[in-house]
Amino acid sequence: MRLLEEDPSGTGYLLKDRIAHAATLSDALRRLVAGECVVDQVIVGRLLARARRPSAVDALSPREHDVLALMAEGRSNGGICEVLGLSPKTVETHVSHLFTKLGLLDQDQGHRRVLAVLTYLREGVGA
């Protein structure tokens, strides 16, 4: 998706098992050289299906998103306070809310802060 968002002209992605004839490949290459975007319809379907899936990160408020992005940079709550100009209690509240929204309740199976950042990296960045 990021590749296509920036400048799709001259970009192409075909699946080799879906090219039945040399003419199909030749046509795609001609169109690419002309500046068109050529993407196999199966890939388009997959990209659209992925784009439609709601992400847990989408449920975060803009401020919670900012806090999570700073967590992903490795900042502590104190560091987040400094960057955003918030009180420690406010940052703790945002962190608590984002844990809840990401479904990271108190659990023994992992460190919630790390799990939140992993969710952000998988679903949130550029999504």
From first to last of the 127 residues of the chain, give the pLDDT tens digit.
Answer: 666 667 777 788 888 888 888 888 898 899 889 888 888 888 877 777 666 567 788 889 999 999 999 999 999 999 999 999 999 999 999 999 999 999 888 765 668 888 899 888 887 665 4
Same domain, 43 and 77: no
Same domain, 120 and 63: yes
Same domain, 33 and 92: no
Which of 11, 34, 52 terminates a domain? The answer is 52
The pLDDT of residue 110: 66
Domain count, the chain: 2
Domain extent, residue 79, equals: 56-124
The pLDDT of residue 2: 67
Tell me how far apart the alpha carbons of residues 102 and 88 are, in angstroms, rounded to a whole number: 21
The pLDDT of residue 17: 84
Same domain, 60 and 120: yes
Tell me how far apart the alpha carbons of residues 44 and 83 are, in angstroms, rounded to a whole number: 39
Same domain, 48 and 61: no
Same domain, 120 and 69: yes
In this structure, what token pair is assigned to residue 47? 């990209």
